[in-house]
Amino acid sequence: MKPIRSSATPLYLTAFFVLGFALSSPLTATQPEQVERFGHFIYTGSLNAGRAGHSATLLLDGKVLVADGANGSAIKSAELYDPATGMWSFTGQTLEPRYGHTARLLFDGRVLIMGGDTNGGLPLETAEIYDPATGTWSATGFMNEKREEHTATLLSDGRVLVVGGTSDGSSGLASTEIYDPSTGVWTLTGNLITGRFRHTAALLRDGRVLVTGGRGEHFRLLPTSEIFDPATGVWSSAASLIQARSYHSSTALADGRVLVVGGVGQRVAIGSAEVYDPTADSWSPAGRLSRARQKPSVTLLPNNRVLAVGGFNEVGSEYRVADAFMPAELVWSETRHPNEPRAEHTATLLQDGRVLIAGGGFGTTLSSAELFIP
């Protein structure tokens, strides 16, 4: 990793600007009635600090906690969004600046943030806990590895599984570890079959965790998938993706399947989606996005449709576009556009079914936020 070079570009994505990849596929035609029925976007209150590569977590009281991120350099601050007022307010201060980290809501209502990168391009092994009751942050143990571009999954028993990532920016870590909130201790568990970063993870209905794709040793693109069993601490091979991809998304659907969307392949952004069936251990095609793109935010809505917002192409252009997916039909339809193009933003499903889209951006780091109204 190299230091952040400008306010426009979070550190860990600068590689895409220098590769000179081709632009992604054009928008596909969408019927006006399709656009209308999937909702629309409206502005809400702006963040107090523009940020990208931050985390956003829905709290038990319905507010949203946004932590850290980058705006020219790593940020050391946190804010709360109140859906009742549409306003943001600062809450405490994180112990160190970080971006590209992960965050998970614990069973007791506290929030765990971990890993990521800081100023100077150094991955972190530190973790912090936010307590909504006091609005304060405190340190909680050290991970066994410094890691960024990892995944963190809240297990059925309340522990948090952290998988892979990278400590050098070019090769994936095979190590995985588990955080126990009752003790504040990190413990190594079974190693991945293939070390990886820029992958995704999804919790299956039976409590196991599916990990897909990413980059491996020497930046090699991976089509493989693996499944972790918390009962044994062992990883086993699962069916490989139809298309190898990294910087994609994974979303557990209401019927137990897992939807994988977008990403980047060999120098080209990916527009396809695919669905994993854990019963059959198989992948099947699941339509295409209106634009091929990396790292769209993907949210499962209360009506079981899936909303994909923004993302960026191979040369770092962010998109002002959104698509809705219907799992039963395996069809994507373009919805109304967001008010601004965004990448490296967050999307949080609120308790009333709206979706909060916050921050992000490449050309300019955004402080604006908007709501998707289904």
At residue 23, the pLDDT reads 32
DSSP per-residue codes, 259-309: EEE--B-SSSB--EEEEEETTTTEEEEEEE-SS--BS-EEEE-TTS-EEEE
pLDDT at 27 over 60: no
Strands ordered across the beta sheet of 64-67: 55-58, 64-67, 78-82, 87-90
49-82: b (≥16 Cβ within 10 Å) or e: bbbbbbbbbbbeeebbbbbbbbbeebbbbbbbbe
Structure tokens at 281: 């251990």
Q: What is the structure's pLDDT at 315?
A: 78
**Identity of residue 181:** P
Q: Is the pLDDT of residue 202 over 70?
A: yes
Above 60 in pLDDT, residue 123? Answer: yes
The larger pLDDT score, comparing residue 230 to residue 363, is at 230
Contact 149, 166 (CB under 8 A): yes
Per-residue confidence band for 88, with pLDDT thresholds at 50, 70 and 90: very high
User: pTM for the full model?
Assistant: 0.90
CATH number of 11-20+34-373: 2.120.10.80
Q: Is the pLDDT of residue 14 over 90?
A: no
Is pLDDT of 201 > 50? yes
pLDDT digit string, tens, across residues 60-85 = 999 999 999 999 999 999 999 999 99
Domain boundaries, the chain: 11-20+34-373
- Output the pLDDT for position 193: 98
The pLDDT value given to residue 38: 77
For position 3, what pLDDT does the model report? Answer: 31
Mean predicted confidence (pLDDT) in 97-125: 96
Q: What is the pLDDT of residues 128-149, one digit of tens each?
A: 999 999 999 999 999 999 999 9
How would you class 36 by CB atoms within 10 Å of its CB: exposed for 0-12, middle for 13-18, buried for 19 or more?
Answer: exposed
Percent of the chain with pLDDT over 70: 90
- For 367, counting Cβ atoms within 10 Å of its Cβ (0-12 exposed, 13-18 middle, 19+ buried), the class is middle
41 and 339 Cβ atoms separated by less than 8 Å: yes
pLDDT attached to residue 11: 35
